[in-house]
């Protein structure tokens, strides 16, 4: 019930998280339920992204001032396990890659950039929950790995940065 300026850092941060959440929605919409040889893996990614969308609403309610909730530390641990699971299916990187590839991969890379942007705004809050900040840090790493995995499922090689 408290009036807050639209320029307040909490409101701007919530807007960034909303943008990130909408971008995750675009990514999930790119995953078809149609039969493909990679259907199981793609539906797994869709479920992961949908769970993240729910987590973002939870984080947003904390940033908006909900004092009754705590962001679970195990949420970051869950992301780390998923990162490890998908990284084990990929060729290790020795070089930087360009954020491109199939449409899903490119969208995940864009969403990763939005996650980093949201993380920077959360840092600006200074009073934010450390578990929320840790979650956003791991989230961008997960989105990077999922982008690479989406390319793999679509038989698209990572595009190496040419120095």
Residue with tokens 């990929």, as numbered in its chain: 90
Helix axes 103-125, 130-153, angle to 10 degrees: 170
What is the arithmetic mean of pLDDT over 95-119? 96
The confidence score (pLDDT) of residue 160 equals: 83
**Do the Cβ atoms of 76 and 135 come closer than 8 Å?**
yes
Report the percent of the chain where pLDDT is more than 90: 73
Residue 25 has pLDDT above 90, yes or no: yes
**Do the Cβ atoms of 140 and 119 come closer than 8 Å?**
yes
Q: Which residues contact 122 (CB under 8 A, 6 or more apart)?
A: 13, 63, 128, 132, 133, 136
Whose CA is closest to 2, among 65, 62, 50? 65
**Do the Cβ atoms of 86 and 152 come closer than 8 Å?**
no
The confidence score (pLDDT) of residue 45 equals: 96
Residue 153 has pLDDT above 60, yes or no: yes
pLDDT class of 8 with cuts at 50, 70, 90: confident
User: Whole-model pTM?
Assistant: 0.92
Cα separation, 96 vs 110, in Å, equals: 16
* More confident: 64 or 45: 45
């Amino acid at each position: 019930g408290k009036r807050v300026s639209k320029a307040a850092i909490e409101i701007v941060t919530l807007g960034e998280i909303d943008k990130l959440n909408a971008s995750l929605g675009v990514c999930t919409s790119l995953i078809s339920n149609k039969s493909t040889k990679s259907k199981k893996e793609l539906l797994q990614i869709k479920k992961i992204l949908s769970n993240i969308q729910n987590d973002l609403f939870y984080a947003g309610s904390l940033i908006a001032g909900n004092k009754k909730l705590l962001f679970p530390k195990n949420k970051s641990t869950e992301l780390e396990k998923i990162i490890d699971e998908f990284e084990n299916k990929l060729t290790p990187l020795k070089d930087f890659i360009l954020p491109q590839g199939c449409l899903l991969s490119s969208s995940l890379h864009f969403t990763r950039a939005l996650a980093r942007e949201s993380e920077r705004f959360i840092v600006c809050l200074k009073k934010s929950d450390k578990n929320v900040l840790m979650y956003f840090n791991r989230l961008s790493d997960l989105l990077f790995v999922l982008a690479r995995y989406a390319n793999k499922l679509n038989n698209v090689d990572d595009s190496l940065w040419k120095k």
